[in-house]
Amino acid sequence: MPARYGALFTEPHPVPAVPDGIVDPILWGQEVENPFPFEAPGTIVVDPDAAFLHLITAPDRALRYGVSVGAAGFGWNGTARLQFRRKWPVWKAPDSMIARRPEFAPYSVANGGMPGGPGNPLGARALYLFQNGQDTLYRIHGACEPKYLGKAVSSGCIRMLDQDVIDLHDRVQDGGKVVVMASLRHAPFEQPY
């Protein structure tokens, strides 16, 4: 396991180490040849079928991170803007989620949401995706349990290991382009959030 996936104690809340042997090494964050050379540096491209998020850094280079994506029926795709980023964000359960999971009602928009910290479904960082000036309600965020990395398990959001989303958060700029490719396959719904 790369050293960067050890426990982080410099954050406002502790970030636990990723346990050895759980994450396929192909999903570790790493520099790769840019598979999207037509995209400008600073663009994020998410390929849900490969379970990769690429941050384009140069015409021929990209940083690639493993992700978990939306389960069947919850996926989202399209081109968006990274409207803003938050450290240890407040999570506000959307009404559609509360309809499915009434136990999340205390964390609704009307109730002010869940403060950032351990147990918050957004983890250490969140990147907010907007389309045509409107919030898509989809995020790129932390709190991915290592055993689910590379799987289709979320309610549409793109989940990353906290260590990776912290790294991504610090490399991108508000207003950047985000492309979420359409999934060509449907995965079983494994764990709703």
Active-site option among 54, 141, 144, 169 = 141
SS (H, E, C) 126-150: EEEEEECCEEEEEEEECCCCHHHCC
Confirm whether 54 is a catalytic residue: no
Do 57 and 84 contact (CB within 8 A), yes or no? no
Output b/e per residue, 163-175; b: 16+ Cβ within 10 A: bbbbbbbeebeee
- Cα 149 from Cα 146, distance rounded (Å): 5
* Residue where the block lists tokens 């389960």: 71
Q: What is the DSSP letter of 189?
A: -
* Residue where the block lists tokens 């390929």: 47
Confirm whether 141 is a catalytic residue: yes
Active-site option among 54, 144, 157, 169 = 157
Active-site residues: which are they?
141, 157
